[in-house]
A and B are shown apart, each in its own frame.
Chain A
């Protein structure tokens, strides 16, 4: 299997909210260890539900690794839940 790490890390995210098909764009995030990751590209954003609560999943990359960020639309919290393919 691939070398994905499963995490549940609360993170601080700088995101822009604009118009268009993908109005929410996380630009950079700060991990618990203080490292700041600049988002180079969003691969896919898809909504999931936990009951009736919507959690938006962002698969992003900084060019060196892929990350999965989850934005809880009810609680307005961001979590880093996966990291994969680190060089």
Chain B
């Protein structure tokens, strides 16, 4: 077991921090690449100090992988986005623009194996979204 874990850790390192399952085709594209790119900057400035530069969690919860959103968790994009848009950043909730919140959500989706597409994620649509959020990162 121990040796297996070490090997897995090496594989993660080689692949640059994420192992994406080849099931991505079944996951909807609900944000644009530009949103995710912008979201990385917003995340870095407002979220990374608690959630970690790689979303691994520190003083705040992890936001990537099965430790964040396993299938058994039954999360939706709307439920997670509600937390982000209403409660975050902790200590100053609601202080980002609607566009910035959508960008952060796009960034988190991208890090969890959701593909970018042609349609931008809209703030209000995201709040009501029933799209399942199941991390594709093992």
A binds B: no
Interface residues of B (CB under 8 A from A): none
Interface residues of A (CB under 8 A from B): none
